[in-house]
Amino acid sequence: MRVVVLGVTTGLGGRLASSLLAGGDTPVGLVLRDSDAARMRAARIEPFVLDTDGSDLDVQLKRAFRGADAVVLAAGTGTGPGSLGAAVSSPAAQLCAAVEDCGVRRFVMVSAHLPGARDRAALGDQLDAYLVEKRAAEQVVREQDLDWCVLRPGMLTDDPPLGTVRARPDGVPTVGDELSRGDCAEAIRTVLTQGITGVWHATTGATPIEHAFRA
């Protein structure tokens, strides 16, 4: 399976690429800089460098998606300064349009985790807007004629992965919900390989990840 990942340079995206590689799949990372591309190649990830200053971003995205089996949006909704998500205006809508044009059916969006105390303090008065933007991006995805899945993890942590989660359809994260980035990455790979669709809430739990979304 050839999977294009937006957000491959993040902690979650990097773990997802590693998980895909371990499963025999081919991760393609969308990046902004040649230096990022070099790091991707060293990690056996196929890079695709986007020129976000150009006027042909849609054309570039279609070129990146050509031949892909799935696309994963794991970079937020575009509010982070200096991030690829910020550089790509309304990435959910733009990515979905390019995905459909290329005939790719599988699209997975990692939606809002509840920010931890440090992130909440950094967002300040923008927290509500952040969460509203996440939900707006979700709605864009839900309206597409794609085999889509929206994954809502609890607050992401760098704890060692357990290989288990609690997965619930249409669940909404609540205060105290957590999920390690490693387990979140494996959950993304699982919904891709098993063809899981719809909206899912995933947090730390006791069910093996390969069974959690079919329980």
Q: Bridge-partner residues for 152, per DSSP?
A: 201
Rg (CA), the chain: 16
Domain total of the chain: 1
**What does pLDDT average to in each consecutive run of 10 residues of the chain (215 residues)?**
93 95 95 92 95 83 93 65 42 83 92 61 65 78 90 90 94 77 97 95 95 87
What is the structure's pLDDT at 205?
A: 95
Tokens of 118: 């440090």
Q: What is the DSSP letter of 125?
A: G
The answer to whether 114 and 154 have CB atoms below 8 angstroms apart is: yes
What is the structure's pLDDT at 79?
A: 38
**Using CB atoms within 10 A of its CB, is residue 66 exposed (0-12), middle (13-18) or buried (19+)?**
middle
What is the structure's pLDDT at 115?
A: 55
Residue 41 CA from chain centroid, whole number: 20
**Predicted TM-score of the model (pTM):** 0.85
Range of the domain at 8: 2-212
Which CATH number do you get for residue 55?
3.40.50.720
What is the structure's pLDDT at 177?
A: 83
List alpha helices for 78-176, DSSP H: 84-87, 91-101, 117-123, 127-142
